[in-house]
Amino acid sequence: MLSISKSVRLTKSQDGGILLDVDRGAIFSLNVVGTRIVELLQQQQSRSSLLRQVSCEFGVSEAAAAADLDEFLSILRKQELLDAGAA
């Protein structure tokens, strides 16, 4: 299961969200889709579950959403915002 790091806090607005990594003092700005993905990650969902939900909620095919989702997850990993045990 994928999950967001316990040191990360999400603040939402109608334009997206802000992630704060309280351990490192790092701040990241998110658009609406990124904010929704982080919300779903807080629920410890699998990649396939994330993909289905994003596809359904934003009206795009799973194939179209897959590359963007994988890129976003890769960025979260590089920024150490996913739990170390996240697949």
In the chain the beta strands, taken as DSSP E runs, fall at 8-13, 16-21, 26-30
CATH topology of domain 8-78: Arc Repressor Mutant, subunit A (1.10.10)
pLDDT per 10-residue tile (average), the chain, 87 residues:
92 95 95 96 92 96 94 94 71
Domain boundaries along the sequence of the chain: 8-78
What's the whole-model pTM score?
0.89
- In the numeric block, the tokens 């994928």 are attached to 2
Neighbouring C-beta atoms of residue 12, cutoff 10 Å: 14
Q: What is the pLDDT of residue 77?
A: 93
Question: Tens of pLDDT along 25-40?
Answer: 999 999 999 999 999 9
